[in-house]
Amino acid sequence: MIVKLTNNQIAWRAAQDIHDGAYVNLGIGFPEKVAQYQPPGREAIFHTENGILNFGEPPPKGEEDWDLINAGKKAVTLKPGAAFFHHADSFAMVRGGHLDVAILG
């Protein structure tokens, strides 16, 4: 019998394969959860499809800045050195091989 994995299980599994220091594009849907499952001590630089590089944890409830959202319209925070760019450039980074991993939803 084949057991269907949940989105959280898939996100956890994907996070285990991301190497330390990787640049990772996270798409809409379950890929948005991958950053939450990074193993302790492993650091990756996450990239959104709508043009944010180096975003962080979701902000606490009530402290969201709705000008800072990922492609799935979920609030994010910024890490030091974060950068913004046009979404077309974001996809050019993926297509051009400038990222280590792209996890699309």
Residue 22 to residue 44: CA distance in whole angstroms: 5
Q: Which residue has the tokens 């994907």?
A: 14
Q: Which of 43, 49, 63, 64 is catalytic?
A: 49
Distance between CA atoms of residues 105 and 52, nearest Å? 17
Catalytic annotation present for 57 = no
The helix (H) or strand (E) run that includes residue 30 is none
Tell me the CA distances in angstroms from 12 to 6, 8, 25, 28, 35, one per residue in order. 10, 6, 16, 16, 9
Supply the residues annotated as catalytic.
49
